[in-house]
Amino acid sequence: MLSDSDIELAELAGAFIHELKNHISTLNLNLQILAEEFEETQNPRERRVLDRIQRLQGECTRMVDVSNDFNRFARLVNLNKSPERIDAILGDVLDFFMPTARANNIEIHTFFPSDLPLVNLDSEVFKQAILNLLLNAFQALPIGGEITIQLSLEKSHCVLRIIDTGHGMAPEVVSRVFKPYYTTKPGGSGLGLATTRKIIEAHGGSIGVESESRRGTCFTICLPLIGSGPG
C-alpha cells in the first residue's frame, strides 16, 4: 500500500519533470531557429557554430529522453491487474520485437507449456518490463546470437526466464544492475532495469539475474499464481 508521502512525492516528481521539459522545449526551439540561420553558410567559422548548435540540440533531445525515463521510474502507477495468459502477453511483445531481431540475425526460441494457469497482471505495464529485458538482451548481443524465453511452473509461481548468448556481465556489474542510474552503456539512462524490477515487484513478484562474462545472461522472473498470495 502506497503511503500519502509516496503519492505526494510521485506527484511532485511528475510536475517537476513536466516543467523541466517545457523549458527544454523552449531552448530546443530557439536552437532550431538559430541553426536555420547558419544552414546555408560556407564560412568555416560559421560551420563550427552550426556544429555546436546541433550538438546542443542533441543534448536537449537526450535530456528529454532522460526525463521521460525518470518519469516512468518515479511515477507510481495504480496497476489495473486482471487474470491474464502470460504466454499471450509475451507473444504480443515478441510480435513487436521480432523484426528488430531478424534484422540483426538474432534467433528467438520460446518454450511455453500449453496448460499454464492465469496470472494477475497489468498487461500493458508488464509488457514494458519484458520489452526492457529484450532490449537489454539485444544490446548485449553482437550481430547474431540467440535469445531464449522459457515459462514454467515452480510450486505456487509462474517462472519466466529470458536467456541470451551475449557478452555477459562481470560480477561487479551483476551486483548493481538493478540500481537506478547505474549503466555500462554509453548514452544509457540507467533506469531501464530499475524500472523493470519496480514493475515486477509491484505485481508481487521478484526478479534476479545470473551472468558470466562472455557466456551470456539469464534474467529470472517469479510471479505468484492467482490465489497463492500477493499479486
Q: Does 197 lie in the same domain as 111?
A: yes
The count of C-alpha atoms lying within 13 angstroms of the C-alpha of 57, restricted to the half-sphere facing its C-beta, is 14
- Could you give the number of structural domains in the chain? 2
Q: Is residue 231 part of a domain?
A: no
Distance in angstroms (rounded) separating the CA atoms of residues 10 and 202: 15
Domain that holds residue 168: 82-224
Q: What is the pLDDT of residues 186-229, one digit of tens each?
A: 656 667 888 889 889 888 999 999 998 888 999 999 999 986 65
- CA 14 → CA 67, 189, 212, distances in Å? 10, 17, 37
- CA 49 → CA 25, 26, 57, distances in Å? 21, 20, 12
Return the pLDDT at 73.
65
Q: Does 98 lie in the same domain as 69?
A: no
Q: Does 163 lie in the same domain as 49?
A: no
Cβ partners under 8 Å of residue 82, min gap 6: 120, 121, 122, 123
Distance in angstroms (rounded) separating the CA atoms of residues 182 and 188: 9
Average pLDDT in the chain: 84
Q: Does 99 lie in the same domain as 48?
A: no
Distance in angstroms (rounded) separating the CA atoms of residues 90 and 128: 11
Q: What is the CATH number of the domain that holds 128?
A: 3.30.565.10
Q: Does 27 lie in the same domain as 130?
A: no
Q: Is residue 230 part of a domain?
A: no
Confidence (pTM):
0.72
- Selected residue with higher pLDDT from 167 and 10: 167
Instruction: Indicate the burial class of 182 (C-beta count within 10 angstroms; 0-12, 13-18, 19 or more).
Output: middle
Q: What is the pLDDT of residues 76-128, one digit of tens each?
A: 556 788 999 999 999 999 999 999 899 899 999 999 998 888 999 999 889 98
Q: Is residue 140 part of a domain?
A: yes
Q: Does 95 lie in the same domain as 63?
A: no
